[in-house]
Amino acid sequence: MKRIDAPLIAAAVAAMLLAVPAGNARAVDVPVPAPDKLAAITAFFANEVATGKLPGAVILIQQHGKPVYLKSFGVQDVKTGAPMTPDTIFAVHSMTKPVTSLAAMMLIDEGKIALSDPLSKYIPSFANVKVGVDIKNPDGTDTVKLVPPNHPITILDLMRHTSGITYDYIGGKWVEKAYQDAHIFADPFDNKEFAERIARLPLARQPGTLWRYGHSTDVLGRVIEVVSGQTLYHFMKQRIFDPLGMTSTMFVLTTPAERARMAHPLPNDPILLEAERDRLAHTKWESGGGGLLTTIRDYARFAQMLLNGGELDGKRYLSPAAFKNMTTDHIGPGSGVGRDYFYFPGDGFGYGLGIGVRTDPGNAKPPPPGSIGELKWDSGSGTYFGVDRKLDMLYIMMEQTQNERGRITPAFRKLVYDTFQRK
């Protein structure tokens, strides 16, 4: 018998009452980008390239299903001088997470996984996981005490980043040391082995209590493999990439022609250069949290499907109830989930099941631009995408920079929304 989560039932009712069917925004008076303000985007990225801050970038704004701005800047590799194009392939790092989360939601929608399922149902090693508690000693030293979890990690915890699974650089010195001592990236490994390595590590917090970024979506990728009987890539290819026409999206480049289209960071961007070396050294690892390579054309197909409420070109990828559940904030007031210094979605944003959701204007004065209900995510490689159903608009930035992304991302968002401001 097909299982249906209680959150999905509630979401179905909400969807009927609140959801705006795809295309309704087109029937009302919505602003369109002003040509002179689009020129400001061109000037900004042309200057970034001219001043040597970026090797290049590709920018897209799409409204009512059609590009209103698509422009390439600079080169995809300063060593070869090959120009950026809409077919350039980018490592999109954490922009992989919404895609993996969609894959999981499809299985949830089909009743093959339940949000309430314990993770150990699919990966038994997680039945033995412990939680690390940092104890301050009188002499100023730290001791990490291992205690049982108050409740098992669930699929919901993986999807909303409340599993207690973190990244090695988030959560304190003891977390960093535990991850480094475990050598989780040593030697070749696949998704199965990586999940086993994560299961041997202590959780940084009790499951369900704190939003904290980490390897949760990598572990979710392994759950998808267990349930589907396929590798993560083959499941994504069959269920998402091929139907959407995402012909240049993959975890590993296999031909010289594909490798010739790859974008590279500047030689003075050590974090991204190291990430690229790590990617090439671990070709068996299909990282659901950060491993996809794709083009702006391909990712726009994925983003347009989200903009349409889970449907594209007559094919539905998620039911309205499942889509509503995925794109509703799950960590806000009443959820019992805390936030700390490492809270990533940012001012004014909550978090759905694998994607950031704009819930309020935020605390900044003036508030950051955008619409309530906007969906978004970005990555450590500088890529960014946003989906705004009120404007029937999506926007994507493809670049490869860790050095400049903290400055460029908010500037890009402002430039995009400035184009829609009426005088």
Residue 402 in this model has a pLDDT that exceeds 50: yes
327 lies in the same domain as 396:
yes
- Residue 119: pLDDT band with limits 50, 70, 90: very high
Distance between CA atoms of 141 and 156, rounded to whole angstroms?
35
Whole-number pLDDT of residue 28? 59
Whole-number pLDDT of residue 342? 84
Q: Is residue 210 part of a domain?
A: yes
Q: Which CATH number fits the domain that encloses residue 280? A: 3.40.710.10
Mean pLDDT of 96-110: 98
Residue range 204-216, pLDDT digits in tens: 999 999 999 999 9
43 lies in the same domain as 159:
no
76 lies in the same domain as 146:
no
Domain stops at, among 175, 206, 228: 228
Q: Is residue 29 part of a domain?
A: yes
74 lies in the same domain as 132:
no
Q: Is residue 26 part of a domain?
A: yes
241 lies in the same domain as 314:
yes
Whole-number pLDDT of residue 19? 38
Domain stops at, among 228, 245, 267: 228
Domain stops at, among 166, 193, 228: 228
Whole-number pLDDT of residue 336? 95
Q: Is residue 362 part of a domain?
A: yes
Domain coverage including residue 220? 114-228
- Residue 23: pLDDT band with limits 50, 70, 90: very low
The tokens for 301 are 């197909």
Q: Is residue 1 part of a domain?
A: no
Residue 20 in this model has a pLDDT that exceeds 50: no
71 lies in the same domain as 142:
no
Mean pLDDT of the chain: 92
- Residue 14: pLDDT band with limits 50, 70, 90: very low
H or E stretch at 103: helix 97-109
Whether 87 and 295 have beta carbons less than 8 Å apart is answered as yes
Residue 12 in this model has a pLDDT that exceeds 50: no
Residue 79 in this model has a pLDDT that exceeds 90: yes
Residues 6+ apart with CB under 8 A from 352: 160, 325, 326, 327, 328, 329, 330, 375
Q: Is residue 291 part of a domain?
A: yes
At 188, give phi and psi (nearest 5°).
-65, 145
Give the lowest-confidence range in 104-118, 139-153, 212-226, 229-243.
Answer: 139-153
Whole-number pLDDT of residue 138? 85
Residues 6+ apart with CB under 8 A from 377: 94, 95, 97, 98, 355, 356, 384, 385
Whether 264 and 75 have beta carbons less than 8 Å apart is answered as no
The tokens for 116 are 């309430």
- Residue 241: pLDDT band with limits 50, 70, 90: very high
289 lies in the same domain as 326:
yes
Q: Per DSSP, which regions of 155-307 are E strands?
A: 293-294
Residue 255 in this model has a pLDDT that exceeds 80: yes
For the ranges 128-142, 201-215, 333-347, the one whose mean pLDDT is highest: 201-215
325 lies in the same domain as 354:
yes
Of 59, 78, 53, residue with least CA distance to 407:
53
- Residue 423: pLDDT band with limits 50, 70, 90: low
Whole-number pLDDT of residue 171? 84
Q: How many domains does the chain have?
A: 2
Q: Is residue 423 part of a domain?
A: no
Mean pLDDT of 338-363: 93
Whole-number pLDDT of residue 368? 85
Distance between CA atoms of 347 and 357, rounded to whole angstroms?
11
Residue 157 in this model has a pLDDT that exceeds 50: yes
Q: Is residue 357 part of a domain?
A: yes
209 lies in the same domain as 170:
yes
201 lies in the same domain as 241:
no
Which amino acid appears at position 296 of this protein? I
204 lies in the same domain as 255:
no
213 lies in the same domain as 361:
no
Mean pLDDT of 138-155: 91
Whole-number pLDDT of residue 140? 76
